[in-house]
Structure 1
Amino acid sequence: MVFFLQLLKIMSTQNLTQKKLVNLDRIRVEPFLAFGNEKKIFVKGRVISSYKRKRPSSRKSWLKNIIATIKRYSVTSIPDALVEIHFHQHRFEVTTDEDGVFEKQIEVENPSPKSIEHVNFKVLSPVAKKNSTWVSKEVNRYNEPVGVISDIDDTVLISHSTQLGKKLWLSISKNAYTRRPLPGVSKFYHELTHRGEVPIFYVSSSDWSLYDLIRDFLRYRNIPIGPTLLKDKHINLKNVWKSGGGSHDHKLEKIRNIFSIYPKMKFFLIGDSGQHDPEIYAKIIQEFPSRVKAVFIRLVGELESDRKEKLAKIIALDNFFFIESSEEAIELAKKNHFI
């Protein structure tokens, strides 16, 4: 840990130099999201200084993983960059915010529902030393009657979010192939999504610098993949320990956005008791009383009795399940004919 903090200090200084030279580097769009309904899609991404990322491996040592973490968080986000978006025959321009992030809602119906759609992105300015190239992202449109929304940390991925030291060490010394999932989560999610027929969305307080790690982790652990919505605030080497922490209000806003994009879809909500998932999901049930089929909350330690009483005052706790294992969740889902 001490070794990492020393490297962190050195690389933070180097990162300031990189920011001054960013216009000389090659910059690119890193697309995150492209999903929607039959009539419109929502796209999101960021503009960053390009860097070469090596594929994760279960054989990599903790030292190599720490170096990979340093490289990940040394990437410079480009504020006020102009991005061109091409979708079918339509062209749009958007500008990135102070964290290099952009988003756009595009109202374009799918002309060929059975064909695969792609949306394309390109940086127009600032002009990089090397020509900017087009980046493509496959579009996912959903019209199913049911969906799943899940947290990630300590719900899918063992993170020890309530213990800062353990959480930080896991995040810097492990990679997508050496991080561990909660036991049985793959089976539970495959059952609940009917082997991919039901769409799944992930909403987490992890930052966008971990997007590739999360996607690789889900793929490697055979956990259903879906749109992954993370925290917008930029995390760098100086404040990497804050990743996943702070306010979780953004999760509420992102879940509301999913509900608005799919007004006829009902949802299963999955989270854990280590942070504020029960309270966030209770608020969603208040706002959308007929849209939540069930809530599954994985217990992290014991749930305080007064906390449960406060939840019961907000909403009826019918179909609001507190579980200790994926096996228990599967049994409850079968008993209630969810699967």
Structure 2
Amino acid sequence: MTKSKRDRIKVEPFLAFGNTHEVFFKGRVITAYQQKRPSSRNGWLKNVLATIKRYAGSSVPNMTVEIIFQDKTYVVQTDQDGVFELQVGDSPAQSAQNEIVTFQVVHPEIKNSPVAHLEVLRYSGATGVISDIDDTVIISHSTDLGRKFWLSVSKNALTRRPLPGVSSFYRKLTENGKLPMFYVSSSDWSLFDLIKDFLRFRHIPDGPLLLKDKHINLKNVWKSGGGDHQHKYQKIVHLFKLYPEMAFYLIGDSGQEDPEIYADMVQKYPNRVKGVFIRLVGKFDPARRKQLEEKISTENFHFVETSEQAIAILEQEMKEN
């Protein structure tokens, strides 16, 4: 690696969240790139060029990252995709002030290595929400590879469209943002800032994004959001373990494997799932429904076509409880 290229390396932090005594950190090391803020006036050509720029940046493997939190120093290595993560225990909040964690590449040595900062978010309580993103929150056409690819490269955070009514449904689910919201998706980390901007622009409750670790570049950008989705199951299990006192609503769609993954969670944690909402993408195969019914009780498994249907079901459940 040449000195000039090393001088452009930086940490891109993604996650710093936890419970009352544990905190989970995640990020990656990349060659720095400058991305202009999205605009709703950008045409498809500008958006395609922005996508090329987004994926032209390289994740950097085998880098040593120093993490400083609560006056303690931790050292981690990036994996083959430039990603690192760390979970630390015995770290209760020390004051009512905002907690900040810092990240910096320390090896190989980089001149004036930039320091990245992230606020640590802690969640507690009895109820949380875990949601998929593609075709659950944002229109993605995940079952049509060509349409999905063109949509992903020709639109930006301000021109991508949400599923109708999803903002109202999620505000109802989270009691206007009082309950913690977590997103688990097969989108890759290069889309992290786009998804964050999209959620804010569309007034959809924000929360930690747990995306797919496998690096996507210009050669395989068309694979983003595809492939094996078992990583979603693993990330949901991680959330269940990080918040053992919390029961969750699970929100997804029928276009990929969400119903089967959520059924596995109901089976593994029968008393920890308050309800499942599956947005129907096309017709739901009767054979899939039968397999679910043979595996678990689908009493709290709600298949909906619109956000209005989901809101009506949620309001009825609230009345009954």
TM-score range, shorter chain: over 0.9
Take 2:168 and 2:93, find their aligned partners in 1: how far apart are those partners?
35
Query: Which residue pairs with 1:65 in the alignment?
Result: 47
Write the deviation string for residues 176-204 of structure 1: whole angstroms up to 9, x where unpaired.
00000000000100111001110000000
Query: Which residue pairs with 2:91 in the alignment?
Result: 109
TM-score by length of 1: 0.92
**Fraction of identical pairs, as percent:** 59
Take 2:257 and 2:297, find their aligned partners in 1: how far apart are those partners?
18
**2:33 is the alignment partner of 1:51:** yes
Take 1:106 and 1:117, find their aligned partners in 2: how far apart are those partners?
14
The 5 Å alignment of 1:99-178 reads 99-128=81-110, 130-178=111-159
Query: Which residue pairs with 2:18 in the alignment?
Result: 36
Contact 1:23–1:127 (8 Å) recurs in 2: no
Query: Which residue pairs with 1:77 in the alignment?
Result: 59
Take 2:90 and 2:223, find their aligned partners in 1: how far apart are those partners?
38
Take 1:222 and 1:118, find their aligned partners in 2: how far apart are those partners?
25
**2:306 is the alignment partner of 1:306:** no
Shift of 1:140: 0.8
Shift of 1:109: 2.6
Shift of 1:32: 0.6
**Which residue of 178, 181, 184 corresponds with 2:165?**
184
**Which residue of 158, 176, 200 corresponds with 1:195?**
176
Take 1:307 and 1:232, find their aligned partners in 2: how far apart are those partners?
28
Call closer, same or farther: CA 1:21–1:76 in 2, change over 3 Å.
Answer: farther
Shift of 1:319: 0.9
Shift of 1:111: 3.8
**2:321 is the alignment partner of 1:333:** no
Query: Which residue pairs with 1:91 in the alignment?
Result: 73
Take 1:118 and 1:157, find their aligned partners in 2: how far apart are those partners?
30
Query: Which residue pairs with 1:275 in the alignment?
Result: 256
Contact 1:205–1:248 (8 Å) recurs in 2: yes
Take 1:257 and 1:88, find their aligned partners in 2: how far apart are those partners?
23
How many residue pairs were aligned?
A: 320
Call closer, same or farther: CA 1:110–1:323 in 2, change over 3 Å.
Answer: same
Task: Give the letter aligned to residue 124 of structure 2.
Answer: N
Task: Give the letter aligned to residue 148 of structure 1.
Answer: V
Task: Give the letter aligned to residue 166 of structure 1.
Answer: R
**2:219 is the alignment partner of 1:221:** no
**SS of the counterpart of 1:77?**
coil
Query: Which residue pairs with 1:255 in the alignment?
Result: 236
Structure 1: 5+ residue runs without aligned partners? 1-18
Write the deviation string for residues 107-156 of structure 1: whole angstroms up to 9, x where unpaired.
1433435221111101102233x411211111111111100000000000
**SS of the counterpart of 2:219?**
helix
Task: Give the letter aligned to residue 91 of structure 1.
Answer: T
Shift of 1:205: 0.2
Take 2:219 and 2:158, find their aligned partners in 1: how far apart are those partners?
25
**SS of the counterpart of 2:220?**
helix
Take 2:148 and 2:240, find their aligned partners in 1: how far apart are those partners?
31
Task: Give the letter aligned to residue 183 of structure 1.
Answer: P
Contact 2:149–2:222 (8 Å) recurs in 1: yes
Write the deviation string for residues 67-93 of structure 1: whole angstroms up to 9, x where unpaired.
000000001111000000000111000
Instruction: Give the superposed CA RMSD.
Output: 1.4
Query: Which residue pairs with 1:319 in the alignment?
Result: 300
Shift of 1:173: 0.4
Call closer, same or farther: CA 1:50–1:111 in 2, change over 3 Å.
Answer: same
Take 1:151 and 1:39, find their aligned partners in 2: how far apart are those partners?
27
Query: Which residue pairs with 1:14 in the alignment?
Result: none
Structure 2: 5+ residue runs without aligned partners? none
Contact 1:23–1:126 (8 Å) recurs in 2: no
TM-score by length of 2: 0.97
